[in-house]
């Protein structure tokens, strides 16, 4: 399904160049579809991706906004899985994450979240092939912000970049990793056909507090 996406630093020059150009394509795509001063590292792939608040997992700045406009092929729908949702606010007036069906003035709200340490286990689904994700921050002191993944709804087994192999009891399993697990240090992800592999978790993922997509993706 879909195209293979690989993001990150390669070990060799040639591979590194390839990886870098893919990263640039992804970044350019992302730029067109995200706006505001509160956007964290995000990968907006054509059928899956990952979004985060600025500075994640550190707290996001005061008084920022970001809007991501996500489009998947016509006829498909989008769903979202939350890895982290930690937004300091009691009334959802100035600090919140909001999802809308559609893009532009016709969009309509699906859901709005605020609160520290929220656990959203279920997938949040759109009714159509476009979604706007809006993150607003006012004055606050704490909260990691958010980190989420999306894909088209045929991937019911979508996981987030924070899931690890040890989160699943089976020895072998098939899970759908989102395209790109870009973190604040621009770490790697993997390829859809070959799976996501652990890349030195001691030296990378862990010190920034954002583990990579560590799963072995077993092809079906
Ligand atoms: C937001 O502003 C308040 C008041 O000026 C300040 O105390 C707080 O540290 C700021 N929060 C962040 C995340 O910078």
Q: What is the CATH number of the domain that holds 187?
A: 2.60.120.290
Pocket test for ligand 1, best of 40, 54, 62 (most atoms within 8 A of CB): 62
pLDDT, one tens digit per residue, over 34-70 is 899 999 988 888 888 889 999 998 999 999 999 999 9
The DSSP call for residue 44 is E
Structural domain for 116, as ranges: 13-208
Distance 66 CA to ligand 1 centre (A): 19
pLDDT, one tens digit per residue, over 186-217 is 333 344 344 444 333 443 333 233 334 444 44
Report if residue 33 sits inside a domain. Answer: yes
Report if residue 4 sits inside a domain. Answer: no
Please, which pLDDT band fits residue 161 given cuts at 50, 70 and 90? confident
In total, how many domains does the chain have?
Answer: 1
pLDDT, one tens digit per residue, over 10-42 is 333 444 444 444 444 444 443 358 899 999 988
pLDDT of the residue at 176: 80
C-alpha span between 199 and 214 (Å, rounded): 8
Q: What strands, in cross-sheet order, belong to the sheet with 43-44?
A: 43-44, 48-52, 145-152, 78-86, 124-125
Report if residue 2 sits inside a domain. Answer: no
Report if residue 178 sits inside a domain. Answer: yes
Per DSSP, what are the bridge partners of residue 69?
Answer: 132
Task: Tell me which residues have their CB closer than 6 angstroms to ligand 1.
Answer: 59, 61-62, 139-141
> Is the pTM higher than 0.95?
no
Atom of ligand 1 minimally distant from the CA of 139: 1
Report if residue 1 sits inside a domain. Answer: no
Report which of residues 142 and 174 the model is more confident about: 142
Distance 62 CA to ligand 1 centre (A): 6
């Amino acid at each position: 399904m879909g195209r293979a996406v690989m993001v990150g630093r390669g070990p060799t020059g040639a591979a590194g160049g390839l990886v870098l150009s893919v990263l640039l394509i992804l970044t350019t795509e992302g730029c067109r579809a995200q706006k505001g001063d509160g956007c964290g590292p995000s990968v907006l792939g054509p059928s899956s991706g990952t979004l985060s608040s600025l500075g994640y997992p550190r707290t996001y700045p005061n008084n920022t906004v970001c809007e991501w406009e996500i489009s998947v092929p016509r006829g498909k729908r989008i769903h979202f899985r939350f890895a982290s949702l930690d937004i300091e606010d009691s009334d959802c007036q100035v600090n919140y994450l909001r999802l809308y069906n559609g893009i532009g003035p016709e969009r309509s709200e699906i859901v709005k979240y605020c609160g520290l340490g929220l656990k959203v286990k279920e997938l949040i689904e759109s009714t159509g092939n476009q979604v706007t994700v809006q993150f607003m921050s006012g004055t606050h002191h704490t909260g990691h912000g958010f980190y989420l993944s999306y894909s088209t709804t045929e991937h019911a087994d979508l996981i987030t970049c924070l899931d690890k192999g040890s989160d699943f009891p089976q020895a072998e399993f098939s899970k759908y990793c989102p395209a790109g697990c870009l973190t604040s240090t621009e770490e790697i992800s993997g390829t859809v056909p070959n799976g996501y592999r652990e890349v030195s978790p001691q030296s990378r993922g862990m010190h920034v507090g954002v583990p990579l997509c560590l799963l072995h993706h077993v092809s079906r």
